[in-house]
Amino acid sequence: MAARALTLGQFIIQEERKHPEASGEFTSLLGDIALASKLINREVIRAGLVDILGYTGGENVHGDRVQKLDRFAHQVIHQVLGSTGQLAVLASEEDEDIVPVPDGQPVGKYVVNFDPLDGSSNINANVNIGTIFSILPRLTRRGPGTVEDCLQAGRRQVAAGYVMYGSSTMLVFTTGDGVHGFTFEPSLGEFLLSHPNIRIPERGRIYSVNEGNCVHWHEGVKRYVDWLKCDDPATGRPYSARYVGSLVADFHRNLLYGGVFLYPADKRNPNGKLRVLYEAAPLAFVAEQAGGLASDGTRRIMEIAPSSLHQRTPLIIGSPQDVRECIEFNLGKHVAVTSDRRHAP
Ligand code: P6P
């Protein structure tokens, strides 16, 4: 007989029972993230049908033209999470500064850094996009949260995860006790536990990088990617290239199948492209909890304490053996163990 499908709410209560000291505040915050994602999902799946596509004409802090769905997702998360009474402050890709909880709402003890709709340039092509969130305890003791509450190293996270809107909508998160995936069942309006205790394979056979940037790559990255294309059945090479251009989609596939995603520093972007607070750090928490690794090429992503809300970082994330090999090449330390000596430094 198939195991009974646990709803997200049942799962959270089951997990909460493992922590008698739990106050329940954190539990309700996870439930509210699920609520916000259902509201966003409803619009995302209709994006092609209603005049919500197209551009607001505005630009976000990075100069990217903001699509209406981005703004909608940001506002939903701000309103739903901000009115839980659990949050002291939020930070969003869509706002240059911190986002205080909505006026008149009580201030709580948590911080949420989020990317409301990552990969939004893919919206019009109906390619998977996602919401990424990171939950931290506030540092300040009282009053409205501050930017310092947001600027904490990823190792301080108490929860992190993402919602991927695609052929099915999935919520994947960790609270530091493994990684669990829930699939949205629209007829029930519920997220059902579909991927308990996700573990990433030690090594994959997939690499995800935008090879269109190779003219800007440093030598170590070029040698690593070339090495992945060499024939060596012992390490499963040549690897397959898979690159959606939507971080959540690329990360999720590699989490389940194994492999490595890299968005390295290059001669054009010395700090890489992806942001620490609401892209690299939450996915690093998920990756590590699933047995994977996440690095900027020299240090653990979870050790980075950013000095600004939108600080960027190089990102190498995925199966542990793949991430380690990539770092060795990046640092010029890899000695190819195969007969192919072309890549020895
Ligand atoms: P590129 C989307 O804009 C995003 O922030 C991530 O979702 C994605 O991994 C990356 O940028 C893609 O960047 O330069 O390869 O198009």
Q: pLDDT digits over 136-172, tens only?
A: 999 999 899 999 999 999 999 999 999 999 889 999 9
Catalytic sites, residue numbers: 64, 70, 93-94, 115, 117-118, 279
Question: Which band of pLDDT confidence, cut at 50, 70 and 90, is reported for residue 318?
Answer: very high
Single-letter amino acid, residue 250: D
Cα 118 to ligand 1 centroid, rounded to whole Å: 8
Query: In degrees rounded to 5, what are phi and psi of residue 185?
Result: -105, 100
pTM above 0.85, yes or no: yes
Q: How far, in whole angstroms, is CA 24 from its chain's centroid?
A: 25
Residues with beta carbon inside 6 Å of ligand 1? Answer: 118-119, 121, 210, 245-247, 273
Average pLDDT over residues 74-86: 92
C-alpha separations of 251 from 86, 132, 248 in Å: 29, 11, 5
The alpha-carbon radius of gyration of the chain (Å, integer) is: 20
Instruction: Name the residue of 92, 118, 128 whose CB sits within 8 Å of the most ligand 1 atoms, as the mutation to test its pocket.
Output: 118
- Run of H or E including 55: strand 55-59
Query: In degrees rounded to 5, what are phi and psi of residue 258?
Result: 95, 155
Average pLDDT over residues 264-282: 96
- Using the atom order of ligand 1, give the atom closest to the CA of residue 210: 15
Share of the chain above pLDDT 90, in %: 73
Q: Is the peptide bond before 106 cis (omega within 30 degrees of 0)?
A: no
- Using the atom order of ligand 1, give the atom closest to the CA of residue 129: 7
Cα 276 to ligand 1 centroid, rounded to whole Å: 14
Question: Which band of pLDDT confidence, cut at 50, 70 and 90, is reported for residue 59?
Answer: low
Higher-pLDDT residue of 54 and 147 is: 147
Residue 339 pLDDT > 60: no
- b/e for 1-39, b at 16 or more Cβ within 10 A? eeeeebbbeebbeebbeeeeeeeeebbebbbbbbebbbb
Average pLDDT over residues 62-83: 85
Share of the chain above pLDDT 70, in %: 89
Can you tell me the distance from the alpha carbon of 203 to that of 322, in angstroms, rounded to the nearest whole number? Answer: 6
- Using the atom order of ligand 1, give the atom closest to the CA of residue 261: 9
Q: Measuring from atom 12 of ligand 1, which residue has the nearest CA? A: 245
Query: Residue 217 burial (CB < 10 Å; 0-12/13-18/19+)?
Result: buried
306 CB-near residues (< 8 Å, 6+ apart): 151, 276, 277
The whole-number pLDDT of residue 67 equals 61
Residue 7 pLDDT > 70: yes
Mean pLDDT (the chain, rounded): 90
Cα 247 to ligand 1 centroid, rounded to whole Å: 6
Average pLDDT over residues 110-116: 97
118 CB-near residues (< 8 Å, 6+ apart): 93, 129, 130, 131, 132, 162, 246, 247, 248, 279
Residue 66 pLDDT > 70: no
Q: Measuring from atom 10 of ligand 1, which residue has the nearest CA? A: 245
Residue 134 pLDDT > 60: yes
Average pLDDT over residues 101-124: 91
Average pLDDT over residues 188-207: 97
Cα 35 to ligand 1 centroid, rounded to whole Å: 26
